[in-house]
Chains A and B, each alone.
Chain A
Amino acid sequence: MNKEKWIDDIVKMAKAVQPVSSNPWMATRIEARLQEPVTINKVSLQWLMTTAAVMIFLVVVNITLLRKNMAEQPAASATVQSVINEYGWSNDDPYSANFSKQ
């Protein structure tokens, strides 16, 4: 069978599809659904789990960064202190402040 004819036959199938009868109880089912109380859309469990996982992740990242920062804090203070000493800035008197390295 040639390709074009095969394609034509398949495309023509659309017209050969007969309409089917829907469920004879459709109207009854619809009426039953209308009788049901309207339920408020609850947040699905999967989204709740996702949000919780993201929150936990953010808290862990924050704690880790905070601890890392605190551990580095004394070293940073020492560096600042050494610069202050080196330039003689520990003196509160602005007139004697020396901005050139001693």
Chain B
Amino acid sequence: MLQFRDDPAAYRAFILEHQDRVFNLVLNKVQQWEDAEEITQDVFIDVFRKPEAFRGEAAVSTWLFRIAVNKCIDHLRRKNSRGRNLFTRLFSSLPEKQEPADFIHPGVLSENQEQAAFLFKALKQLPEKQHTAWVLSEMDSRTNKEISEIMDLTVSSVESLLFRARQNIRRILSGMYPGEK
């Protein structure tokens, strides 16, 4: 169904059609431009190499988003464990990548960047599933049904995740309120 091996033009057209949406989702999730680019490339490479994984049960875009979300989760887990692993820290030959203090999203107007930084900082503290559901719902404007297909959950589970995510974001932001310092 999605065989691109013999049709490079169709493959290129497929990438051009979906790359921006996949990239934006990944960028909102990993909050790092270079990592987002690499993960997006990985998503399309997977599509080329394993087209049989698409069984046609959902829309192609849903399938693409599912791959992207899973890759983001793997990436964030790897990144977190890299910081915790003693042996990796001892024997790592590569210098540790310095994280920017606050993620500045290129799609945010300059006058809103300070507020957006608070939002992205709060998002980082959310549990994985709540984070994914919230990004898909609030930043990518996906319906609960679409989110349930992407995350392989029931609609009621997504609703519950979103409810908890909204509560947690408010709680985290409440702790960041500069007026109380």
A residues near B (Cβ < 8 Å) are 1, 3, 6-7, 9-11, 13-23, 26-27, 29-31, 33-34, 45-47, 49-50
Contact = CB atoms under 8 A, between A and B. Distances in A.
B170 A7 contact: yes
A33 B15 CA distance: 14
Contacts of B44: 26, 30
- Identify the 6 closest CB pairs spanning chains A and B, nearest first: A22-B23, A18-B107, A46-B91, A14-B138, A27-B15, A49-B91
B116 A13 contact: yes
B176 to A, nearest CB: 9
Given A10-B118, A23-B37, A33-B41, A50 B138 contact: no
B115 A22 contact: no
Nearest to B91: A46
Interface of B: 8, 11-12, 15-16, 19-24, 27-28, 37, 40-41, 44-45, 48, 87-88, 91-93, 105-109, 112, 115-116, 118-119, 122, 138-139, 166, 169-170, 173-174, 177, 179-180
Contacts of A1: 179
Contacts of B8: 31
Given A29-B41, A30-B45, A10 B19 contact: no
B23 A17 contact: no
B11 to A, nearest CB: 8
A38 to B, nearest CB: 9
B131 to A, nearest CB: 12
